[in-house]
């Protein structure tokens, strides 16, 4: 990620989760969290995978962006008839004033360190999980949308398939959840944050 953006820390929040990345990586990709229960929650922020690894779920200010790969292209809808294999979420009624993130030039680890520094300055207890958001024009960014395994991949034990996306000068929002204590629950191995991106033109 190479970006100039802003980060905002919450004034009041609780972070919830159901299911886990560990279970998904162990092969349990069944639906654990029906999305319909979140209908009408206008202050909701969330990230997670669609059941059966059929795409990505991102929620920003109550708006659902459910991205799937169809015929090689990413298509986004907001239908709540599906469920998540795992989901981490928070309801945030108000955010502290945004501050400059600066430019992140190397990798997600650098971004996580900067997020933690800014959170501490904002009075956030970083020993506990917290949500954050980035917003602005990203000089360049790479991300992916997961796709279901084929039967051949499943038999061969391959990692989940993804469609990789690389874009420049992207006007986008990123919602993330930071924790140093939930690796394998809602952050990936070796990471302290789980992030999803939504570009202004869709996903």
End-to-end Cα, the chain, rounded Å: 16
Q: Taking the model in full, what pTM does it have?
A: 0.90
Residue with tokens 């795992």: 86
Confidence (pLDDT) at 153: 46
Task: Encode pLDDT of 88-137 as tens digits.
Answer: 999 998 888 888 887 776 788 989 999 999 889 888 899 999 999 998 88
Confidence (pLDDT) at 93: 86
Please state, rounded to an integer, the average pLDDT across all residues of the chain. 87
- Ranges assigned E (strand) in the chain: 2-9, 15-18, 33-34, 44-49, 56-60, 63-70, 73-77, 83-84, 87-91, 99-103, 130-147, 161-178, 193-199
**CA angle 104-140-203, nearest 5°?**
115
Cβ neighbours of residue 157 closer than 8 Å, sequence gap 6 or more: none
Confidence of residue 11 (pLDDT cuts 50, 70, 90): low
Task: Encode pLDDT of 28-39 as tens digits.
Answer: 999 999 999 999
């Amino acid at each position: 990620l190479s970006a100039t953006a802003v980060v905002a820390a919450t004034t009041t929040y609780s972070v919830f989760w159901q299911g886990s990345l560990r279970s998904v990586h162990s092969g349990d990709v069944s639906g654990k969290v029906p999305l319909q229960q979140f209908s009408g929650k206008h202050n909701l922020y969330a990230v997670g995978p669609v059941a059966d690894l059929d795409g990505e779920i991102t929620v920003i200010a109550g708006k659902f962006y459910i991205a799937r790969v169809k015929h090689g292209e990413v298509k986004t809808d907001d239908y709540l008839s599906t469920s998540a294999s795992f989901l981490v979420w928070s309801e945030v009624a108000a955010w502290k004033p945004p501050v400059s993130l600066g430019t992140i030039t190397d990798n997600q680890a650098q971004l996580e360190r900067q997020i933690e520094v800014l959170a501490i300055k904002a009075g956030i207890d970083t020993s506990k999980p917290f949500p954050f958001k980035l917003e602005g024009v990203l000089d360049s960014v790479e991300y992916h949308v997961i796709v279901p395994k084929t039967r051949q991949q499943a038999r061969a034990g391959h990692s989940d398939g993804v469609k990789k996306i690389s874009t420049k000068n992207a006007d986008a929002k990123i919602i993330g959840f930071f924790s140093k204590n939930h690796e394998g629950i809602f952050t990936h191995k070796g990471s302290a944050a789980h992030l999803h991106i939504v570009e202004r033109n869709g996903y």
